[in-house]
Amino acid sequence: MLQPSTLSTLRAAVAHLHEHSKDSGRLYFQVVTPKETRGKRRITKPFTVHPHSEDFESCPVQCFKALRDHPALRLRPANSNLFVKSNNVSQPLSSSTVSSWLHLHFIPLCTNESRVSIRSLALDLGISPQANIVALGN
């Protein structure tokens, strides 16, 4: 599972969008997990984000396109952070901001229960039938 601390350290160079293939419109990125190893080697996990067909404004793929095409970010170095502050695109997003957003905005979209952790929500969604998972799209 992606943790806020892992999300906040993702580099822009790891994400790419397939625009001219059968996977058109999907966002791909790989995460090298800093806290997990297998055989003394860090684990690399691939992720695919599918575009939302009905909710354009909250679509993570559209957000990535806006970030990628932003005039102030076009010439940024490849090793810069993928997630940046919307009001100051030269500053990376902190893991506490990612965590706060998940707790304030994402969890309420997925459940009405109080005091739910991201980890327990991910575990519940992981065992749910894929047709019932609206928020993740994977």
Which structural domain, as residue segments, surrounds residue 25? Answer: 4-132
Does the residue 36 lie in any domain? yes
Does the residue 85 lie in any domain? yes
Q: How far is CA 1 from the centre of its chain?
A: 11
The residues, any chain, with a CB within 8 Å of residue 30's CB and separated by 6 or more, are 14, 44, 45, 46, 47
Does the residue 94 lie in any domain? yes
Place of tokens 């799209």: 137
Domain count, the chain: 1
Ordered per-residue pLDDT tens for the chain, 138 residues: 567 777 777 887 788 887 766 667 888 888 887 777 888 888 888 888 888 777 777 778 888 888 788 887 777 787 888 888 878 877 888 888 888 888 887 788 778 888 888 778 777 766 666 555 444 444
pLDDT (0 to 100) of residue 2: 66
Q: What's the predicted TM-score (pTM) here? A: 0.61
Q: How many CB atoms lie within 10 A of CB 86?
A: 11
CA distances from 118 to 4, 88, 107 (A): 10, 27, 7
Using alpha carbons, select from 57, 63, 62 the residue that is nearest to residue 89: 63
pLDDT (0 to 100) of residue 131: 54
Does the residue 29 lie in any domain? yes
Does the residue 115 lie in any domain? yes
pLDDT (0 to 100) of residue 138: 41
Does the residue 67 lie in any domain? yes
pLDDT (0 to 100) of residue 27: 86
